[in-house]
Structure formats: structure tokens, C-alpha cells
Structure 1
Amino acid sequence: MSLLRKREVLPAVSDRFEKDVVIVGAGFSGLYALHKLRGLGLDAIAFERGADVGGTWYWNRYPGARCDIESADYSFSFSDTLQQAWRWSERFATQPEILEYVNHVADRFDLRRDIQFDTQVVRASYDEAARRWQVLTDKGQLVSARYFIVATGCLSVGNVPDIKGRDTFAGPSYHTGDWPHEGVDFTGKRVAVVGTGSSAIQSIPLIAQQAERLYVFQRTPNFSLPARNQPITDGQDREIKAGYAQRRRTARYNSGGVNRIDPTVGALQVSPEEREAEYERKWQEGGLNFASTFMDLRVDAEANETAAEFVRRKIRGIVRDPGIAERLVPKGYPLAAKRPCVDTGYYETFNRDNVTLVDLQASPIVEIAHSGVVTSDAAYEVDAIVFATGFDAMTGAIHAIDIVGRGGLPLRRHWEAGPRTYLGLSSAGYPNLFLVASVGSPSVLSNMMTSIEQHVDWIGTCIETMRATGADTIEVMPSAEQAWVEHLNTLANATLFPRGTSWYMGANIPGKPRLFMPYAGGVGRYRQLCERIEARGYPGFRFGRPDADHATDSPASSPAAPFDIDALYIKD
């Protein structure tokens, strides 16, 4: 497995050149940033560690990989020509189709000519005298750039658990986030799948159809909702394309960045019969919208329990063996406190004779031996192991780069107690560094495509404003950063999200700070806040000019005056 790792020894510099912008990543974020900034006349280059475009959809090729956002929403809106030309074949697109779409976008807008593949950015340091970023790649290239944009994605660095004996296993092992491009044939094999998160829930039904014997090692049962995936008919395609304008308006200002009208009624405000009927309707409709059936499911534990218990009853009704069903039923945390999964036939798979569920809460893994997986009460001989163990989410790929700001302060140290940003866009002490749809923004709580476009558009307008006013740097004020960190905590604590030990909280990575990383206030509210900040001249940021004194130019030298985030919201 070639998962991204932090480089300890930096390469020698073999080539130097200048650009206006360096972008890290050529997934959806990096591609749109490249297109947008090129359109502003900036000389930009993107570095991508993979051999081609696609980001997460380039690496995640495991069986059953598909998006849990509807295809028509999980697509770019910046070009009507693009959205009218492209035809999605299914309601929830598969990884191959999404990758085909990404390649189509790269070709249509001639983006590859400014992307360098098979290249990893290993260090980026801010040169205070030159007021530029010095960006070093693993090929020894040192690029001086005015702007440094981190578009590395939230789920980019795979998490392989440090299990005793892992490297002694005689057979092949795989991580779902770094799947062999040629595919894997499990026909006639005994296979272990470790983990029951999204990639496991998508891949287990297909692996079970191939394998002679499948062992599923589950630590925490997950809530999974039926996808009800289906082909998109010609008539539906015409309807989608005719309605794109309204569809995008709805997505940009609702809570989740998708084509959904947010509910205005709570689960406890209707009768039990009405509530049950509405849950059943959403269950049959399929997809993640079940978790938004009522307005209070993410904030009221009693309301949430009505939805959670509905799903538990469904699981018990699908899985024939009552003992297995009970081990698959999620307990002890609210529905959607961990990201719900979307599946096709997941629970039904445990009715197969060749599938065994291993409960790691009752019998934890002790080691991986030469012949398989050993738990506290049994040894399971297998021919292959699949680690469906998720990612070092949101911060993993950022910290894989040695980012150094003013005064030689590494970002890793600035964030050692957890990520610190303002709007999720940048951090104090790191001028002209922009993050795209990452920590401190709606990102993983939203349709990523909606959030990516909103971030890149905001960054583009910000740079245009700088150029028009003669500024060459923009930097977060420490008081604004502190206020945003506190605001994120306030928003999260008003919800049920912190009650789940999820990757939202960094809980899957040993030693990672435990705090809720995304913005929990909703996509529309966040967008309105960003628009208000832009319209008011960027409060919370400081612009710098080349002729300014560098000492007073730094926001770090300014008093940490209180900064009122709430005052910037548009009041109803």
C-alpha cells in the first residue's frame, strides 16, 4: 500500500521557477481553482501526487465505490455548457463514471497543461522579505509563488491501524483508499474486511458475491440507509437539465448544499403515525435525505431517537438471524453523529451462508498472523485482507506538507491542539494561504461540490480585490481566528454531532485532538456569512501592501481585540 506519508528528509533543490499561484491537488477542488485563477489571468500550476486527475476518485477504486450525493448535484455548476453536455447514467454515480466526468472536465477546459502529476509538495514556507511562498516538491523543484492554495481534499490520507503483526501476513492486503487500478479478483478466496464504514458497506456486498468466505470485522455498527439507486431515464435527464438553474439556487442556500428543501417541522411536533409514515416515505425514497426528514434530528436527542429506532427496526427486519441483526444495530450514539452510509444490499449480505460477522467489541483483534487475523477468542485463516479503516480526515493531507508561516512557525505546531482557521479559509500567520473546502467550513457536512465552488469563487474575488487595491497579501487576524474557533465549538455543541466518536472528531486517529472539525451551521448560512464579509471589506482579515512596514503589516502585531462573528450574520 502506497498511502501518503510525511516525508522526513527534504530533497535537494534541482530547479527553481516562479508562478503566481501554486495549487496542491488535482481533484475537484484543485481543478476548479486552476480553471478559476487561470481565468483571472494568473499564472498557476497544480501539483498532483497521482498519475492523473481525480483526487479521491482516482485512488478509491474498491468494489462498489460510488457517491452518496445524487449525480446531478455532485457536479460542477460554473459552466452551463458543461452541465448541459454531460449525461449521468445513474442516480448515484459509480467511481468509474465520476472519474470519467473528472477527465472530461480536465479535457474540456484544457487543465492538464498546468498540472504536474506524480509530484508531491513536501514543504511550503513563507518568505517574509519576498512576501512569497517557497514551495518545494519531491522532485526538487522550488517554486516561488504569491498565492499558495491547499486543495488536498478531506479524505485523502488512508488510516491503516497499527495492528501487531500486520506486516507478517503472507497474503495481499489492501486499503480501500488506495485500491489497485487493475482491480482485485476474490473468486474462491477467503477474505477479511476490517471495518464497517462507508467503503466497507459499499464493498462488502460485492466481495461476498465473489469470495468463498468473507469475514467482516466490526468494531462499531454503522447506520446505513438504502440508496435505491436506479438508471436516469432520458426524460429524467431532460428534466434535470431544464431545472439546473433552480436546482443550483436551492443547493447553494440550504443546509446541505443539495437539491432539497430543508424541513420546517420537528419530529416531536407530529403524531407517531405521521412521523412513522414520513420515515417510511424517506426510507423508500432512499439516500441521505432520510437524516433530514425533520428539522430537529441533528439537535434534539429525543427526536433523533425516533429516527434511529426506525432504522434499527429495519435492520432487524432485514437480517434473518436475530443475534447477527442485534450486533449490526447501532447503539450508543445518535443517527448522523457519524456520517450515515448509503448502501445497496449491505444488511442483506449477512443472510448469506458464506459471510461471518466478527464482533470486535466482544472479541478484539489481538494480532495479524502469517495466515490471517487473530482475535481474543479465535483465529481466522484468510487469503487476503481489506482494510476499510477510513482516513486521517480533513487534516491528514495538510499536515503531510511541512507548511511554515511567519516567524518560522510550522502549521502543525499552530494546530497542535486542533485546527485553527477563520472561515475555514486560512490561518493567522500564513499570508496568502487558502484552504479549499477543508477544516472549519461546511465541507464534509455538505455536498462537497457546492462547497468547493463557493470557496474557490470567494478566493477568486478576494484576489481580484487585492489586485484592484494594490494589496499583495491578505492575512487572518488572530482575534478573528480565535472567534471562529469558539464559534465552531458553539455551533457543534448545539448539535448531537459531538456525541459520536467519529472521524468528524478525529476519533479514529490515535493522538489526534478530539474536536468537531467542520462548520455545523449549514451551507446556506455559511455562504451568507462569507458574502457579508466580502461585501463589508473583509473584516477579520488584514490586507498588506509592498510598501508597508513588515512589522506593522503583520496582524500578529495587532492587539487581539474581540471579534464578533454573530454581528456579521444576516439577521432574519
Structure 2
Amino acid sequence: MTERADQNANSPAVGRPESMPDAQPHSDASPADRPPEIAAFDVVVVGAGFGGLYMLHRLRGLGLSARVFEAADGVGGTWYWNRYPGARCDVESMQYSYSFSEELQQEWHWPERFSAQPDILRYANHVADRFDLRRDIRFETRVTSVAWDEAAERWTVETDRGDRITARFCIMATGCLSAARMPDIPGLDSFEGDTYHTGHWPHEGVDLAGRRVAVIGTGSSAIQAIPVIAEQAGHVTVFQRTPNFSIPSRNKPMDAEYENLWKSDYRARRLKARTMRNGILYHLNDKGAMEVSEEDRLREYEARWEGGGIAFMAAYNNLALDAEANRTAADFVREKIRSIVRDPAKAEALMPRDYPIGTKRICVDTDYFETFNRDNVSLVDLRKTPIEAIAPKGVRTTDGTVHEADAIVFATGFDAMTGALLKAGIRGRGGLALADKWEEGPRSYLGLMVAGFPNLFTITGPGSPSVLSNMMVSIEQHVDWIADCLAYLGATGVRTIEATQEAEDAWVAHGMEVANRTLYPRAASWYMGANIPGKPRVFMPYIGGVGVYREKCDEIAAKGYEGFRLSPPPATAARAEAAE
């Protein structure tokens, strides 16, 4: 274990009522016919992705009893569900991994620069086995209700298997991109072929060889999947509403020298990454795009394009802040699209023009634009001819054309950041539903807690850097903060912690202020909830930066959890007040 983990293992545990026995782990983590569980724990964790796995590990180090509920039949979260062709991470493998165990960092080998879904899922399973985590996880179990009992000062968690668990603390590790969205298109039930969603891809795989495939959507999942599907299918028809900026990944097998360079200096590199704006260690230019000549600017963009990956957006320090600077980067990528796609009409349709580059998720691809040069790939511009309905034989657009298909792939994204949380049926003080609290958009303090919902934590919740960062860095920061908080509560005799309304209001206002200094709100993105009909348009993640955010969280904790109401007051503070 690392030094941090060793320290945590000796931290004081949060006390449980004397009458409450220790919960005994089951011998089988996921029997299909297991009886409902009626038990009490210190903590319930919802979700067994990377957030839930590390949270469970830290809770054990604190000496707390915990139960994890997971809807899937295995660990991995988004990497369990998203098995579509071409699925891969857009953060380099050497950085998209846990840092809490030096042994784990040294022993694991990533086969590629940007790892594919099967390798990431293999890593998640390795972690679960290495730290013996499965015995406290109940798989194939979906949480249906999370309710606060004010008299008992405990959460009651119920599941679709009839479980009824009470716990002092509930930690939502449900992920930011885990509630897949199916579009409401008339006639879907009439389609005679097969339908798939990239977020719920069949685990046994799909044979699309020689088939006519319609792909609806051109976001990140589609941009990864379309080139692979096109190599298999007889014909692919891509239905695009909004074109996306995408940068080539330049993916390749892991270079042994590069891997060893990271492993020889992992600790220092991880510490540096935690201070970066998005938690990813790469070279951020300290100049603005308009401070250099056009020749130098094009040379820098070309170097970033050839280097591959999302580091392109770090070419200059003001691409997210200044419209003119942003235009230079967008123009460069549009010219690249024009040079790659041979059909001028297709190239024009594939060029984003109505939002700044990077304000919708910047995508990373392998031969995405090149795929539109294939004879078996066609593009339907839904801004000119929207989808009218799904017909028995394919997809009908408003010009009356039925684009025939044997299979439809919906790459239509997720109800991001809030979808999975709202599906859990969370109710706080006075029975207040989180869905009602968030009727006009998500509100939280630090993305960690919500006023009116004591002892409920959200890992990478709305109001934190989350999806604008390396998720592994943000997950570890949140888990460590929560674990340290629980240790503090146990050591000082505090039973409940809750964000104050004033602190929540101030944090929401600050988040909006920071977002409005940037170009991000100019895009109708899923960051804004714009992909879900009726969802409030609120910029959900915190854009102030991972490093700045971490400092703020640490400062708040150091001040005795400023902005949180602790009840009863910490014993140490009460004694100090009495002495005065």
C-alpha cells in the first residue's frame, strides 16, 4: 500500500449504535436466487464502477461495514456496459488508472496508448480480485429507493430484489454517463430488424457482416463505432444532427520506454496531474493563440494534430475563453476535415460551425473522417431532412425517403450527470425528493453533498469537475475526501453532516459565474442537459479546474468542514468552547 493507504487503515472508524451488530458478508456475491437482505451497515455504496470500487476499499481501511449494490452482474461501471465496436478511453492509459497503490501501478501493463474497453474492464476486474472486493458487492441488484429516516438518522435503501438495508451514510457512485438515453422516435416498435444502443451493447457481440446498418448519432460513441462498423457492414447510413469536432488519437501499442518512464516516476507525475486544469498531465502552452504569428499558430496546431488526442485543446491557454482564439483552432480542424473527406458535400456537412471547438465534448477517433470516403458509407444531414419515424424497413426522413436498414444502432448518449442519481428514488429531509429539489437543475455543494440530504455523498456529482477531467483523478479525490470526512466524524462524535443552504447557493452561483467566463455555455451540449427534452439548461460540471477545486475542498475540510452543518458539534470543538 502507499503511504496514504497505510495512514487510512489506522484512521478512527465512524461509530455505530451499540445495539447494532456487525453485518456479516455473504459467501456468494451474486446468486441469482439469493434471498432479500435485511441488514444494517455503516455505509451503503450504490455502484461498482471505479468510484464504488475504490470507495469500498477505503471504507474497509476505516474499519467500516459496507454494502455495495450494482445493477450489472460484474464490476466496471460504464466500461461494463459500453461494449460497442471501437469503444476506448480518450485519456492515455498510463493516466487512466488508480494511483492509490504503488504495487498496482507497477504490476499492471496496458497494451495500448489509449486502451480499449475490454482491457479497461479487465483492469477493473483485476482490481476487484486483487483487493478482494466482490464479497461486499451485491450484483444484479438495482436500487429503487433511498430514503432518510430523520428519527433514526439513517438511510433506508431498498432494491428490486427486496433488500432493505439501513445505513448511517449513503454514497452514490452511479457514474456521470450511466443512464443511457433512447430517443422518442415514432414507429420504433414497428422496425423489423435489430436495434442496439451503444451504452447497452450485447456482451456476446453483434455480427454486422454484410448487413445494412443505420447509425443514429455522431457523438463520441458513434465516432468510435462508425469506422469499425463500416469495415464489417454491407452499408452504413449515418444520421447526423450535430457534427462534432474530433481529433485523431494516433493510438498505437504501448511503447515500453514510455511505460517505464511513467513507472519510474509515477508518484511525482500523479501529484503534478492533480494540479492541472483537467487532471491530465500534458504540455499546456502558456501563451494565447493571438499572441503568436499565424505561421507559428498553424505549426503548433499541426504538431498537436499529429501528436493526437485531447492535448490539441491545450495548444494555447485561451481556447476555452476567447472566441477569436477558439476560431483559429476550429478553422484548423475544419480545414483538416475538408482535406480528408473527398466529397465536398459530405465534408461541408461534417464541419461543425455553430459552436466553439471544445465546448461540446472534444472527440478522439481512429479514421472517423476517412470512413466517409468509403463507398459503403453514406451521410444523412438531419438538419436538412430530420427523422420523421422508424419504419418497418428502416428510417424515414421528412423528405419521404426510407433509408433501408437491417439493424439500427442508437448512439444517442446519456442523461448525463443527473440521470442515474434521479433514477435511484432519493428522498431527504421531510420526504423531499431529489427530483423535486433539482426540478430547475442540479444544485449541490462542491458536487459532494446536497442541502436537505444529510449523510448522502455523491462521487463526481454535478458541481464538481467530473466529466471535464480525467475521471480517475476526480474519482480518487472525491473518495479520499469522503473517507477523510467519515474518519473525522467518527473521531469527533458527529452523527450527521449536511451542506447548508447558504453554502450550496454560494457554490452554485460561483459555478455559474466561472462557467459564464468561458465559451462552454454557447454550445447546446449534454454538459448543459441540452440532449434531453425538458431537462433544465444548466451547466452541470465545475469548470474552475481540478487543481483549484482540490485546493478548495481541502481548505473547507481544514476549516472543520466549513459550509456544512455538523450535528452534534464535534466533541473536540465542544470541549474547547467549554474551556473558554
Give the alignment's TM-score, normalised by structure 2.
Answer: 0.91
Deviation at 1:238? Answer: 1.4
Task: Name the counterpart of 2:517.
Answer: 494
For residues 247 and 326 of structure 1, what CA distance do their matches in structure 2 show?
41
Task: Name the counterpart of 1:240.
Answer: 262
Task: Name the counterpart of 1:415.
Answer: 438
Percent identity between the two aligned chains:
61
Deviation at 1:534? Answer: 1.1
Task: Name the counterpart of 2:378.
Answer: 356
Q: Is residue 2:450 matched to residue 1:427?
A: yes
Deviation at 1:450? Answer: 0.1
| DSSP-derived class of the 2:58 partner | helix
Deviation at 1:33? Answer: 0.5
Change (3 A) 1:407 1:352: same
Aligned CA RMSD, in angstroms, stands at 1.2
Q: Is residue 2:94 matched to residue 1:72?
A: yes
| DSSP-derived class of the 1:253 partner | coil
Task: Name the counterpart of 1:405.
Answer: 428
Task: Name the counterpart of 1:169.
Answer: 191
Task: Name the counterpart of 1:34.
Answer: 56
Return 241-250 or 386-395, whichever deviates more. Answer: 241-250
Q: Is residue 2:560 matched to residue 1:534?
A: no
Task: Name the counterpart of 1:85.
Answer: 107
Question: Are the equivalent residues in 2 in contact too, given 1:92–1:229 (CA < 8 A)?
Answer: yes
Question: Are the equivalent residues in 2 in contact too, given 1:194–1:388 (CA < 8 A)?
Answer: yes
For residues 272 and 73 of structure 1, what CA distance do their matches in structure 2 show?
33
Task: Name the counterpart of 1:556.
Answer: none
Task: Name the counterpart of 1:220.
Answer: 242
Q: Is residue 2:323 matched to residue 1:301?
A: yes
Question: Are the equivalent residues in 1 in contact too, given 2:283–2:314 (CA < 8 A)?
Answer: no
For residues 355-410 of structure 1, give each alpha carbon's deviation from its aligned partner in whole angstroms, at most 9, with x where no partner exists. Answer: 00000000000000111000012111110000000000000000001101001111
Task: Name the counterpart of 2:211.
Answer: 189
For residues 335-367 of structure 1, give each alpha carbon's deviation from its aligned partner in whole angstroms, at most 9, with x where no partner exists. Answer: 011001000000000000010000000000000
Task: Name the counterpart of 1:474.
Answer: 497
For residues 547 and 480 of structure 1, what CA distance do their matches in structure 2 show?
19
Change (3 A) 1:260 1:233: closer
Q: What code does the residue aligned with 1:18 have?
A: A
Question: Are the equivalent residues in 2 in contact too, given 1:402–1:410 (CA < 8 A)?
Answer: yes
Task: Name the counterpart of 2:140.
Answer: 118
Q: What code does the residue aligned with 2:552 have?
A: L
Deviation at 1:546? Answer: 9.6
Q: Is residue 2:485 matched to residue 1:457?
A: no
Question: Are the equivalent residues in 2 in contact too, given 1:48–1:116 (CA < 8 A)?
Answer: yes
For residues 14 and 90 of structure 1, what CA distance do their matches in structure 2 show?
42
Task: Name the counterpart of 2:45.
Answer: 23
Deviation at 1:545? Answer: 2.5
Q: Is residue 2:420 matched to residue 1:386?
A: no
Task: Name the counterpart of 2:29.
Answer: none
Q: What code does the residue aligned with 2:568 have?
A: R
Deviation at 1:233? Answer: 2.4
For residues 481-512 of structure 1, give each alpha carbon's deviation from its aligned partner in whole angstroms, at most 9, with x where no partner exists. Answer: 00011111101100000011010000000010
Question: Are the equivalent residues in 2 in contact too, given 1:250–1:260 (CA < 8 A)?
Answer: no
For residues 76-113 of structure 1, give each alpha carbon's deviation from its aligned partner in whole angstroms, at most 9, with x where no partner exists. Answer: 00000000000111000000000000000000000000
For residues 307 and 524 of structure 1, what CA distance do their matches in structure 2 show?
25
For residues 231 and 189 of structure 1, what CA distance do their matches in structure 2 show?
31
Q: What code does the residue aligned with 1:536 have?
A: K
For residues 416 and 397 of structure 2, what CA distance do their matches in structure 1 show?
27
Q: What code does the residue aligned with 1:173 have?
A: T
| DSSP-derived class of the 2:274 partner | helix
Question: Are the equivalent residues in 1 in contact too, given 2:247–2:365 (CA < 8 A)?
Answer: yes
Mapping of residues 300-339 of structure 1, within 5 Å? 300-339=322-361
Change (3 A) 1:117 1:546: farther
Match among 304, 308, 313 for residue 282 of structure 1: 304
5+ residue gaps in structure 2? 1-34, 572-580
Change (3 A) 1:361 1:40: same
Question: Are the equivalent residues in 2 in contact too, given 1:121–1:401 (CA < 8 A)?
Answer: yes
For residues 208 and 284 of structure 2, what CA distance do their matches in structure 1 show?
43
Deviation at 1:291? Answer: 1.1
Task: Name the counterpart of 1:563.
Answer: none
Question: Are the equivalent residues in 2 in contact too, given 1:254–1:261 (CA < 8 A)?
Answer: no
| DSSP-derived class of the 2:87 partner | coil
5+ residue gaps in structure 1? 1-12, 549-572
Return 113-122 or 230-239, whichever deviates more. Answer: 230-239
Match among 207, 211, 214 for residue 229 of structure 2: 207
Deviation at 1:34? Answer: 0.5
Q: Is residue 2:172 matched to residue 1:150?
A: yes
Match among 395, 398, 403 for residue 376 of structure 1: 398
For residues 370 and 80 of structure 1, what CA distance do their matches in structure 2 show?
55
Task: Name the counterpart of 1:178.
Answer: 200
Aligned residues: 536
For residues 72 and 125 of structure 2, what CA distance do their matches in structure 1 show?
13
Question: Are the equivalent residues in 2 in contact too, given 1:189–1:213 (CA < 8 A)?
Answer: yes
For residues 464 and 250 of structure 1, what CA distance do their matches in structure 2 show?
26
For residues 237 and 418 of structure 1, what CA distance do their matches in structure 2 show?
42
Q: What code does the residue aligned with 2:451 have?
A: A
Deviation at 1:462? Answer: 0.6
Q: What code does the residue aligned with 1:278 have?
A: E
Q: Is residue 2:368 matched to residue 1:346?
A: yes
Question: Are the equivalent residues in 1 in contact too, given 2:82–2:200 (CA < 8 A)?
Answer: yes
For residues 357 and 244 of structure 2, what CA distance do their matches in structure 1 show?
9
Q: What code does the residue aligned with 1:300 have?
A: D
Task: Name the counterpart of 2:471.
Answer: 448
Question: Are the equivalent residues in 2 in contact too, given 1:437–1:451 (CA < 8 A)?
Answer: yes
Q: What code does the residue aligned with 2:249 have?
A: A
Deviation at 1:243? Answer: 1.9
| DSSP-derived class of the 1:20 partner | strand
Deviation at 1:245? Answer: 1.3
Task: Name the counterpart of 1:520.
Answer: 543
Deviation at 1:249? Answer: 1.1
Question: Are the equivalent residues in 1 in contact too, given 2:492–2:570 (CA < 8 A)?
Answer: no
Task: Name the counterpart of 1:266.
Answer: 288
| DSSP-derived class of the 2:254 partner | coil
Question: Are the equivalent residues in 2 in contact too, given 1:250–1:261 (CA < 8 A)?
Answer: no
| DSSP-derived class of the 1:170 partner | coil
Deviation at 1:15? Answer: 4.2
For residues 198-228 of structure 1, give each alpha carbon's deviation from its aligned partner in whole angstroms, at most 9, with x where no partner exists. Answer: 0100000010011111100000000000000
Question: Are the equivalent residues in 2 in contact too, given 1:255–1:262 (CA < 8 A)?
Answer: no
Deviation at 1:263? Answer: 2.8
Q: Is residue 2:122 matched to residue 1:97?
A: no
For residues 559 and 315 of structure 2, what CA distance do their matches in structure 1 show?
36
For residues 218-247 of structure 1, give each alpha carbon's deviation from its aligned partner in whole angstroms, at most 9, with x where no partner exists. Answer: 000000000000111222221121121121
Q: What code does the residue aligned with 1:244 have?
A: Y
Q: What code does the residue aligned with 1:49 have?
A: A
Moved over 3 A (4+): none
Task: Name the counterpart of 1:439.
Answer: 462
| DSSP-derived class of the 1:162 partner | coil
Question: Are the equivalent residues in 1 in contact too, given 2:489–2:570 (CA < 8 A)?
Answer: no
Q: What code does the residue aligned with 2:510 have?
A: H
For residues 160-182 of structure 1, give each alpha carbon's deviation from its aligned partner in whole angstroms, at most 9, with x where no partner exists. Answer: 11000011101110000000001
For residues 345 and 403 of structure 2, what CA distance do their matches in structure 1 show?
20
